[in-house]
Structure 1
Amino acid sequence: MNGAMQSEKARAAAWFRTLRDEIVAAFEALEQSHTDGPLSERAAGRFELRETVRRADDGSEAGGGLMSVLREGRVFEKVGVNVSTVHGTLGAAAQGAMAARGVPGIEDDPSFWASGISLVAHMQNPHAPAVHMNTRMFWTPGAWWFGGGADLNPALPVEADTEHFHAELERHVAPHGEGLYPELKAWADEYFFIPHRGRARGVGGIFMDDRNSGDWEADFALVQDIGRAFLPAFLPLAERRRATPFTDADREAQLIHRGLYAEYNLVYDRGTKFGLATGHDPDAVLMSLPPLAKWA
């Protein structure tokens, strides 16, 4: 399988990098266009770039990626758009977790390859929703699969924003099967849930993992359309809310909501657990954490 998958691996990694470039360009353009409203007097934010490295247990390099973070902009308080392509041998904990999920052959050979994009945006204006998106491809000698999704995390939810976000996700997923969007939406509702709080971390979206229909091209097309859905689902909301006047109470609500987001990512998120367990750059793994948060 390794030789047969080289082209597919390269195509997937190239797509994640292309999507990263498109999103970074769109976000910097959004910063430039914010010329009226709160914080519009600031210099427009720009992404700072840093290469990241995964270290194997013996200290050798085992792939890496590009960490792109914009801080203290006009619209974004902190947004990260990371891509990575890593490989190596899974540790015992990660190997056991995948074996428990039924990954074929993982108990006999813990070799792996993984590539993906991960994005989290925390906004300056409390009325503009935070957002998360990631897509990835994973390979082991016994299997390959895709995963990821997107979800909206407003501190001050607006029904029209929620409806728009879900409508764009549904529109992009629809060509891949009539019942697929409801399935991925229900999966997101289950996955992006904080058990110790008894509530969701946001207003949902879509999520999938271990996606292997047996048709790599079809599954790759689906993961591409999930990525393509992101900008039309999110950008209009940021544009609509970035200049809304806000109060100290609105900011307080935003910071407390960010506390929920931090709890989820540190305790439950699969990507965070996997990245830290497999030796990837911890700053890149923890990029999703908000710059400021509060707990009641």
Structure 2
Amino acid sequence: MSEDFGPMKSRAAEWFRRLRDEIVAEFHALEDRHTDGPLSDQPAGRFEVSKTRRSAEDGSDAGGGEMSVMRGGRVFEKVGVNISTVYGVLGDRAQMAMAARRGIPGMADDPRFWASGISLVAHMQNPHVPAVHMNTRMFWTPHAWWFGGGADLNPCLEYDEDTAHFHAAMKGACDPHGAGLYGELKAWADEYFYIPHRHRARGVGGIFYDDRNTGDWEADFAFTRDVGAAFLPAFAPLVDRRRETVWSEADKEAQLVHRGLYAEYNLVYDRGTKFGLETGHDANAVLMSLPPMAKWI
């Protein structure tokens, strides 16, 4: 299986990089066209790019990626768009979790893995502009391969029309791949992005999928590309719609409290955070999703 998947791995990793480049360019454009409204008189934000590295337990190279982070922009208070391609051998804890959750036989005998993906989290200056999360990824072991990802919207001040627009874009990505797929993945997101100890969702949802292996790699890769390509049409118009809105101290307070909710979820429940830290990836890249400021009451 490993010999056959070399070209597929390269294609997937290259696609995630291209998507990162497109998103970074559009976020720079959003900063540049914010010339009216709150914070429009300060310099436009720009991404800083740094290399990330994953080290194996013996210190050998195990892949890495690039962390692109913008802080203190006109529109974005903190946004990260990371790409990574990591590989090596899963440790005992990660092996057990993988085998248990996915029912993969043979992990103890051959625990090699390869994973590549893009991960994005945006925390906004304006409380009226929703925070957002998106990621897509491919995972491979000698025993199985799969895709995963999705996107979800996290407003602190909810607008029904924004939620409807975001979900319509996600539905548009899903519909060509199956009439009932959007409903299935929306329900999965509602379940996954739920915070049990708060008895509420962290946002207004979106779509989520994991373990996607229909047996047709090309079809599953095409679906994952469509999910990634739907992100900017789903999110950028909401930024343009809300970025000039004047906010109050109460609005900012609501944003900071909601960010506390977001941080709780990512640190306690998020699978990607746990996997990244358990497998030795750069901690700053793994924890890029955390907001720059948050508040608990």
TM surpasses 0.5:
yes
- Superposition deviation, residue 121 in structure 1: 0.1
Structure-2 separation of matches of 1:285 and 1:98: 19
Structure-1 separation of matches of 2:184 and 2:44: 39
- Superposition deviation, residue 110 in structure 1: 1.1
Alignment of 1:123-272 (within 5 A): 123-272=124-273
Q: Match of 2:197, SS? A: coil
Alignment of 1:44-123 (within 5 A): 44-101=44-101, 102-123=103-124
Q: Match of 2:230, SS? A: helix
Partner AA of 1:147 in structure 2: G
Partner AA of 1:222 in structure 2: F
Q: Match of 2:49, SS? A: strand
Contact 1:133–1:151 (CA under 8 A) maintained in structure 2: yes
- Superposition deviation, residue 59 in structure 1: 1.1
Q: Match of 1:205, SS? A: strand
Structure-2 separation of matches of 1:16 and 1:80: 14
Q: Match of 1:233, SS? A: helix
Partner AA of 1:94 in structure 2: A
- Superposition deviation, residue 220 in structure 1: 0.2
Partner AA of 2:153 in structure 1: L
Does residue 1:14 correspond to 2:5, yes or no? no
- Superposition deviation, residue 91 in structure 1: 1.2
Identity across matched positions, percent: 74
Structure-2 separation of matches of 1:76 and 1:111: 38
Structure-2 separation of matches of 1:253 and 1:73: 20
- Superposition deviation, residue 109 in structure 1: 1.5
Gaps of 5+ in 1: none
Match of 2:39 in 1: 39
- Superposition deviation, residue 212 in structure 1: 0.3
Question: Which shows bigger deviation, 74-83 or 106-115?
Answer: 106-115
- Superposition deviation, residue 173 in structure 1: 1.1
Contact 1:193–1:201 (CA under 8 A) maintained in structure 2: yes
Structure-2 separation of matches of 1:29 and 1:107: 48
Structure-2 separation of matches of 1:284 and 1:66: 9
- Superposition deviation, residue 108 in structure 1: 2.5
Structure-2 separation of matches of 1:105 and 1:294: 45
Structure-2 separation of matches of 1:11 and 1:105: 27
Contact 1:56–1:62 (CA under 8 A) maintained in structure 2: yes
Q: Under a length normalisation based on structure 1, what TM-score does the superposition of the two structures give?
A: 0.99
Structure-1 separation of matches of 2:237 and 2:135: 19
Match of 2:30 in 1: 30
Runs of 4 or more above 3 Å deviation: none
- Superposition deviation, residue 61 in structure 1: 1.4
Partner AA of 1:178 in structure 2: A
Contact 1:104–1:143 (CA under 8 A) maintained in structure 2: no
Alignment length, in residue pairs?
A: 296
Partner AA of 1:82 in structure 2: N
Q: Match of 1:250, SS? A: helix
Contact 1:170–1:181 (CA under 8 A) maintained in structure 2: yes
